[in-house]
Amino acid sequence: MENIRATAFDVFDEARLLGEHTDMIIKSNDREFQVHKIIMCGCSSYFRALFSNNWSSPAQPFCEIQGISQDIMPLIIQYAYTRSVHITQENVLELLVAAEMILVSGLVDTCCQFLESQLCPENCIGICKFTVDFYSCSKLRCKAKHYILQHFEEVLHVSEEFLELSLEQLEEIIDEDELNVKQEEVVFEAVLHWINHAPENRRQHIAVLLPKVRLGLITSAYFINNVKCNTLVMENEACMPVIINAMKTLFDLNMDEPVNSELMHQLTRPRLPSSILLAIGGWSSGNPTNEIEAYDVKADCWVSVTQEDECPRAYHGTAVLDEFVYCIGGFDGVEYFNSVRKFSLITQTWHEVAPMYERRCYISVAVLDGLIYAIGGFDGQQRLKTVERYDPNTNQWTMMAPMNEQRSDASATSLQGRIYICGGFTGIEYLFSAESFNPESNQWTLIAPMSSRRSGVGVIAYADQVYAVGGFDGASRLQSAEAYNPLTNIWSDVASMYNPRSNFGIELAIRGSGLCISCLKTKAGAQPTPCEVWEGTILVVVVGRMQGRIRLGGDGEDGGEWKRQHLRTQTCTKAGAQPTPCEVWEGTILVVVVVGRMQGRIRLGGDGEDGGEWKRQHLRT
């Protein structure tokens, strides 16, 4: 059908160029264009309305359109016939204005896509301002604003358009939680830079802009030396309440003046990072904890986002979906949970969602087609074979077909529209069996068994195969790995890891995708231990308890104690790949791997029994 349509429009366009069967002449700035009415009506409701009055009147074959240049009109006509047009940096803005004016929505979208592809620190502000008056360009406007926020420091240094922002526009930008800066000092410097461009007209605006700077996040030395004694700040009395509240925050002062709680919140609220690592719950000092910490990779800092009313939770599964992190099931040392909580990455608040039908810890979690699957686990009495699925749109869990075997301490992943779960523990037997789930038929099918029994196994999908790595076979921890091909239903051995391990984290790391590995030193004097990241990596293995999409600390279900083993990352992509050295810290209680911005691929791990304080972090990419 598409080939027929393309051929027909080629014929129509050729007929136009030859003047065959045309029934209308469009005039634009003394230039005339012969067209077919029906073709022009097909690309725009504007032309349909324009031609309707003289559709059957051959006496009026002319139509004049004002406001469109003779260089742009032929491009619009070409688009009407071919649905393609040559867009350049020189013509895109005029073409977009014209297309918006005569309601050629497809051409508007094409122009917006071109401008989006051209976004850079030098032009992002101009594009954002340009699209304000165009309702049909709202998506591009959002993209441009997001670009400004994410590349703010680069924009500040190279964009002349930054200095031309209005007060309201600058205020809106620096007030955003998503503003991406390494230090809050950058925001204060940006305010001064903007004011100093036209000091006589802008100096009074410091009173409006200063409260938008998160002064509670800057260093006390910078505050004293650069903010408090700044001339613009000192000469404007309206800045005094902001300075006083900032001092209370930075120096923990108790003054007689009443505290402005709203202003204090504004001064101390952290910016939301563009990509983060989340450490949620797990074990700490021998007990489950409710601590949550967020690591901003770009700013190289941790921020506590713990909610005091949140209960401790370990051995739970987690998944990332639609800017929420879901914590599913788990154990608090006494009770086994069927509760599910979701954490908003925007508001940093917890929300209770519908509970599961069954209590589950040592749970396996997978995400497929926007739905969360909670698979197997342990309810305090028995290992489970039941499965349930959560739909965030309806806030409902639905019981699905059960697996063929009971499984806890297994691991699951999704591939090509199906869910795969491998290994696990029945309470008696360590499993080498694996199953796949077809959501369309609601049916679990046993696939070929693995070559080894694997509880606490790491499972991940990549390049049309499912990889099962490590685990515990009932006698020892494994260093072997194998890959499953769904087309042949065959497991094949792949290169073994250097170290045997179970109950660890596994993650996909594609070169150039922004992989970060964060290792936290637990006690003074701990020495870095060499590890390896292979060029062409597809699998990254880290020590820690891994349950679900985000895996949390604790010893494995087999009850074995965690050892202070040397940590390594290893992959199985291709023979002969050479390792690149990096470092992780011996005594690590948490190792985190993240790819991109919250794409459902955040993995956490750690033994949680160490109890050491998080004192410093070393990043290797």
Strands 490-494 and 481-485: antiparallel
Of the CA atoms within 13 Å of residue 234, those in its CB half-sphere come to: 9
User: For the CA atoms of the chain, what is the radius of gyration?
Assistant: 30
φ and ψ at 224, to 5 degrees? -65, -45
Residue pointed to by tokens 């342990």: 378
CATH code for the part of the protein at 2-118: 3.30.710.10
Residues above pLDDT 70, as percent of the chain: 75
The string over 527-565, giving b where at least 16 C-beta atoms fall within 10 Å of a residue's C-beta and e elsewhere, is eebebbbbeebbbbbbbbbbbbbbbbbbbbbbeeebeee
Contact 153, 182 (CB under 8 A): yes
Instruction: Give the span between the Cα atoms of 268 and 265, in whole angstroms.
Output: 5
439 by DSSP, 3-state: which? coil
Q: In the structure, what pLDDT confidence band is assigned to residue 32 with cuts at 50, 70 and 90?
A: confident
The model's pLDDT over 368-399, given as tens digits with 9 standing for 90+, comes to 999 999 999 999 999 999 999 999 999 999 99
Instruction: Give the span between the Cα atoms of 527 and 541, in whole angstroms.
Output: 20
Contact 343, 279 (CB under 8 A): no
**Is pLDDT larger for residue 113 or for residue 600?**
113
Q: Which residues pair with 443 in a beta bridge?
A: 438
Residue 74's H or E segment, with its range, is: helix 73-82
Instruction: Give the span between the Cα atoms of 476 and 452, in whole angstroms.
Output: 11
The answer, yes or no, to whether residue 575 has pLDDT greater than 50, is: no
Tokens of residue 308, six digits: 């005091």
Calculate the dihedral angle through the C-alpha atoms of 32, 33, 37, 41, rounding to the nearest 10 degrees.
-110
Q: Give the model's pLDDT for residue 555.
A: 39
φ and ψ at 487, to 5 degrees? -70, -35
Name which of 109, 171, 118 is nearest 144 in CA terms. Answer: 118
Q: Do domains 165-268 and 276-620 have the same CATH topology?
A: no
The answer, yes or no, to whether residue 70 has pLDDT greater than 80, is: yes
The string over 90-107, giving b where at least 16 C-beta atoms fall within 10 Å of a residue's C-beta and e elsewhere, is ebbeebbbbbbebbbeeb
CATH code for the part of the protein at 165-268: 1.25.40.420
494 by DSSP, 3-state: which? strand
The model's pLDDT over 196-211, given as tens digits with 9 standing for 90+, comes to 999 999 999 999 999 9
Q: What is the average per-residue pLDDT within 215-226?
A: 92
Q: Which amino acid is at 549?
A: R
Residue pointed to by tokens 């994410």: 150
**Is pLDDT larger for residue 424 or for residue 344?**
424
185-197 vs 167-174: helix axis angle to the nearest 10? Answer: 170
Tokens of residue 7, six digits: 């051929």
The model's pLDDT over 305-335, given as tens digits with 9 standing for 90+, comes to 777 777 888 889 989 888 888 999 999 989 9
Q: What is the average per-residue pLDDT within 102-106?
A: 88
**Strands (DSSP E) found in 20-68:** 24-28, 31-35, 62-64
Q: For the chain, which residues make up each domain, given as ranges? A: 2-118, 165-268, 276-620
**Is pLDDT larger for residue 301 or for residue 249?**
249
The answer, yes or no, to whether residue 467 has pLDDT greater than 80, is: yes
Instruction: Give the span between the Cα atoms of 333 and 361, in whole angstroms.
Output: 11
The model's pLDDT over 146-199, given as tens digits with 9 standing for 90+, comes to 999 989 999 999 999 999 999 999 999 999 988 988 889 999 999 999 999 999
φ and ψ at 408, to 5 degrees? -130, 165
Cα–Cα–Cα angle for 35, 40, 43, rounded to 5 degrees? 150
Instruction: Give the span between the Cα atoms of 453 and 446, in whole angstroms.
Output: 15
DSSP assignment of 92-121, as one string? HHHHHHHHHHTT-HHHHHHHHHHHHHT--T
Helices first, then strands: H and E counts in the chain: 17, 32
Instruction: Give the span between the Cα atoms of 593 and 604, in whole angstroms.
Output: 7
Instruction: Give the span between the Cα atoms of 383 and 11, in whole angstroms.
Output: 68
Q: Is 556 left (phi over 0), alpha (psi -120 to 50) or beta?
A: beta
DSSP assignment of 400-430, as one string? EPPPSS--BS-EEEEETTEEEEE--B-SS-B
Q: Give the model's pLDDT for residue 339.
A: 95
Residue pointed to by tokens 């290792």: 519
Q: Is 54 left (phi over 0), alpha (psi -120 to 50) or beta?
A: alpha
Instruction: Give the span between the Cα atoms of 305 and 432, in whole angstroms.
Output: 39
Contact 485, 434 (CB under 8 A): no
DSSP assignment of 250-306, as one string? HHT---SSPP-HHHHHHHHPPPPPSSEEEEES-EETTEE---EEEEETTTTEEEE--
Residue 142's H or E segment, with its range, is: helix 138-150
Q: Give the model's pLDDT for residue 299.
A: 61
Class of domain 276-620: mainly beta
The answer, yes or no, to whether residue 57 has pLDDT greater than 60, is: no
400 CB neighbour count, 10 Å cutoff: 20
Residue 208's H or E segment, with its range, is: helix 206-209
Q: What is the mean pLDDT of the chain?
A: 77
| Range ranked top by mean pLDDT from 158-162, 289-293, 505-509, 605-609 | 158-162
